[in-house]
Structure 1
């Protein structure tokens, strides 16, 4: 009942005026500083040095900074870019999202292109979309972390997309990408026998039987599929 009242209030003139007032106040306090930040951030991205990137990380780890600017479009894209970069450096990627463009706008453009390719695969069911995705990944050094994050933020049917991407990557022997898609799928559906068996099978196929065993042990009630994988790799 309360949510209906809130929804109704959001369509009143009073709410609109209040929102405009808050926006004006934000602009008065932060707009000029935002412009300075955007210019400084773009310079650091263009510099591409280790020092510049460490400064960017410190800035985007500042909770007050994020809270102040997260609702603004330009800064929102930069927050996404830096969150992806954080994941990539934790995964020890040699090429990161900060290397795929020479400026903020160029990197943002690549993100938008990737989003539209994923939508093409999801909604248009276009086989050509799969080719576009593979070409885009290879020509732009798109990492599994970047792809995983874009599925998280831009795709409606995440489970269906992750399975489709896994099939695409397995066909191309891109096992690292397939593995990361399945890992994310396991996060979304923990304990799912089919997903865990796919992970175990992938690990076993590259000789990591111990890791395959660990995935199989996560299945609470193993069925025929799990037993088949266990026998296949002797784990």
Structure 2
């Protein structure tokens, strides 16, 4: 028994020491970087509000630069979210998407930091509903389709969010493809099928659907 108590004391002491070390690290980080973080977020907000091509380019340079964001990873979730947004935007630009996560069809709506964070969370919540909610699948699907149409969500943005949000990525993609086809959203269905093909390249049914939908889609 005394041995067990001794072990418990060691574990407790180790945990306390670890907690104190983490606290020291955070206090040191806050002393060195908190001012820089506030400046970075204020600049981000201004660039999002400006919203033109040059502002978006500057946002990419900020958040795709490992040296700039590294001090804040694991400290502030906003930085992680913004880095994800800029990674998606970069992929959309490279794919030649007409509407991107930063440049939507409804251009009258001005972005701010909080608005764009709320926007990306909304799509995540809709995907979680598709995967986990008790509500009828058709209702969850209708809400998702409505959001995608209203906000001109690109296939690139949708696929990246599925990959980072869903527990069972492939199963969620299967369900969404069915809904997309029923809603005549063939371009989104096609690109999701292409993503599914990457996971299961030997799946013949996916290959057939890609070929069929490819007739109606301009890449």
Partner of 1:105: 114
Which runs of no fewer than 5 residues in structure 1 stay unpaired?
A: 1-7, 212-235
In structure 2, the partner of 1:53 is 56
The corresponding residue for 2:191 is 180
Look up the match of 1:118: 127
User: After alignment, is 183-192 or 84-93 more displaced?
Assistant: 183-192
CA shift in 2, pair 1:139/1:21, >3 Å: same
Task: Tell me the equivalent position of 2:66.
Answer: 63
How many matched pairs? 200
Note closer, same or farther for the CA distance 1:207–1:161 as it changes in structure 2 (3 Å cut). Answer: closer
Distance 1:131 1:207, change over 3 A: closer
Q: What TM-score comes out, normalization by structure 1 length?
A: 0.79
- 1:62-81 Cα shifts (integer Å, max 9, x gaps): 11113222222111111111
Residue 28 of structure 1, CA deviation: 1.2
Matched residue of 1:130: which SS? helix
Q: Secondary structure at the match of 2:184?
A: coil
How many angstroms apart in 2 are the aligned matches of 1:201 and 1:19?
Answer: 56
Matched, 1:35 2:38: yes
18-27 or 40-49, which deviates more: 18-27
**Which residue does the alignment assign to 2:107?**
none
Higher relative contact order, chain-length normalized (CA < 8 Å, sep 6+): 2
1:90 corresponding residue in structure 2:
94
Q: Are the aligned partners of 2:193 and 2:210 in contact in 1 as well (CA < 8 Å)?
A: yes
Say if 1:70 and 1:79, in contact at 8 Å, map to a contact too: no
* Distance of 1:94 and 1:144 partners within structure 2: 11
Residue 177 of structure 1 deviates from its aligned partner by 0.3
Partner residue, 1:22: 25
Asked if 1 retains the 8 angstrom alpha-carbon contact of 2:64 and 2:86, the reply is: no
Of residues 164, 184, 187, the one that matches 1:153 is 164
Unaligned 5+ segments in structure 2 are 1-10, 105-109
TM-score, structure 2 as length reference: 0.84
C-alpha distance in 2 between matches for 1:43 and 1:129: 35
Contact 1:70–1:76 (CA under 8 A) maintained in structure 2: yes
Are the counterparts in 2 of residues 117 and 133 from structure 1 also a CA contact under 8 Å? yes
